[in-house]
Amino acid sequence: MLRRIMFLAAVCLSGGALAKPPAGGVFCATYPSAPTCTGQQPSCTYCHVAPPQRNAFGSALEAFLAPGVPRPLSDSEYAAALPAALIAVEGTDADGDGFSNLEEILRGTLPADASSVPVDTGGCAAGGNPQYDVCRYDFRFAYRRVLLDFCGQSPPYAQLQSFAALRDDAKRERLDAELDRCTASEFWRGKNGQLWKLAHPKIRPVGSLKEGEDRGAIPLGDYYDDYALYTYAQIDDHDAREVMTAKYFVRRETQPTRYIVETSLPTQSVDALHRAGNLTSAWSLVYFVMFTALPRNAASQSYRAYLGLDIAKQQGLYSIPGEPRDYDAKGVQAPACAACHATLDPLSYPFRNYQGIAGATSAQYVPNRLEKYFSDVSPIITQTPEAGYLLGQPVSNLVEWAQVGANSDAFAIAAVTDYWKLLVGHPPTAEENAEFVATWQRFKGTHQYRVQRMLHDLIRTEAYGAP
């Protein structure tokens, strides 16, 4: 249970012909207005079931992809040939759902999935529902939803009637006031509240391994510290990026719940110079690094949790020339593995000196960690650099890794997607894409990563307020 070496199998792909890392960038250069390209790139599954197996759209492309050129294509040959292949299949319907590939690309649905089709949302008839205006944003509907989502309770009938009697500008003010009131509640920010639920897949708690409050049978780390920092970064006027970049820790007080910044905690060991928010918490290191020399699992979990990019699903691949080097002799240079590890391994190098489970040095930054504890893993393990790459950009260490990630579009998109799924009830659809993009862009730009301000935008979207 404690060993996570099987992770390698999840990212090693079988077969001889692989998806190409440049594909997403070339696709988005060809279709810059496509919803799947708004601040992100399509994953390999846009054209593949799993590389090398192509889906219907990928199979259609193959016939036009540099015909006559010997296989395998180099990355440069592939990138040069892909635009023409995409254009060649624009007018066809790969999945047979009645919509051309081009229409699906431009409207944000999947050209290889017959169940994913463009939807026209018009056609509402005024007066069709006596309770709500199902055609447009409905203040009364939004009011009930805000109280349920942020306070955990439905408004009494008299309160709802009082709200309905207000002018529209007063209704907006009341919605904002209720949002601010409810986000100060235990339901929103308390232990196991809404924000803690958002944090679950990022922290991945395991009760049997918990230290401190609610101690488990094999106490390894107190992940309530991670929940405290995550929640603190989301509330009031705090900067959400600090979940990745904080040099401080956060202590939780109860009755009522309060989150207090601390320069040190007895449960945390990484020195201030090498801290990077929850990426370097005691729990993250003991659970995601554990006993490994090259902490690929810690890197991939951070990439997935805070930037929304899952390498096991072939997302966020930025192939680095000359990689992977396979410093720990895990066989990742095999053709079936290299496509993912050319991104994953450089992503992992900045974690090289962060200790997992190792007695007195557990969950600490240990200079020359590989030299001291893992020199027998392979002949070149000690050549593993601390400098690496994130999103195709060079970074010198994990602190810089966290800063680059926290300032990226990927972070803003992932953060707003979390709230969109929590409050709207599903990931952004193609029809909601314009509102979603405007929301994450304002979160990053206008609101400077303040979640509380972004939430006021989100509850004004039709995706949230239209029944």
In a domain, 387, yes or no: yes
C-alpha 448/C-alpha 425 separation (Å) is 25
Q: Which residue has the tokens 């039709």?
A: 462
CA neighbours within 13 Å on the CB side: how many for 348?
26
Tens-place pLDDT, residues 373-419: 999 999 999 999 999 999 999 999 999 999 999 999 999 999 999 99
172 and 91 in a common domain: no
The whole-number average pLDDT for the span 143-169 is: 96
295 and 396 in a common domain: yes
440 and 347 in a common domain: no
Whether the predicted pLDDT of 16 surpasses 90: no
In a domain, 4, yes or no: no
346 and 252 in a common domain: no
133 and 98 in a common domain: no
> Which of 370, 402, 434 delimits the end of a domain?
402
450 and 359 in a common domain: no
Q: Is 263 helix (H, G, I), strand (E, B) or coil?
A: coil
Whether the predicted pLDDT of 2 surpasses 50: no
In a domain, 285, yes or no: no
Tens-place pLDDT, residues 435-456: 999 999 999 999 999 999 999 9
pTM, rounded to two decimals: 0.86
> Which of 274, 307, 322 delimits the end of a domain?
274
Amino acid at 372: K
Residue 266 CB partners (closer than 8 Å, separation 6+): none
In a domain, 113, yes or no: no
355 and 449 in a common domain: no
In a domain, 121, yes or no: no
Range of the domain at 327: 291-402
- The total number of structural domains in the chain stands at 4
100 and 83 in a common domain: yes
In a domain, 1, yes or no: no
Tens-place pLDDT, residues 226-245: 999 999 999 999 999 999 99
In a domain, 301, yes or no: yes
C-alpha 43/C-alpha 454 separation (Å) is 27
55 and 87 in a common domain: yes
> Which of 376, 402, 428 delimits the end of a domain?
402
Do residues 118 and 99 touch, judged by C-beta distance below 8 A? yes
Do residues 30 and 86 touch, judged by C-beta distance below 8 A? yes
174 and 99 in a common domain: no
Do residues 72 and 17 touch, judged by C-beta distance below 8 A? yes
227 and 135 in a common domain: no
C-alpha distances in angstroms, 347 versus 26, 48, 285, 288, 412? 22, 24, 16, 14, 19
In a domain, 240, yes or no: yes
Whether the predicted pLDDT of 125 surpasses 70: no
Tens-place pLDDT, residues 184-223: 999 999 999 999 999 999 999 999 999 999 999 999 999 9
Query: Residue 347 CB: number of other CB atoms within 10 A?
Result: 28
**Token reading at 12:** 């090693």
- C-alpha dihedral (190, 193, 196, 201), degrees to nearest 10: 170
Q: Is 245 helix (H, G, I), strand (E, B) or coil?
A: helix
Q: How confident is the model at residue 27 (pLDDT cuts 50, 70, 90)?
A: confident
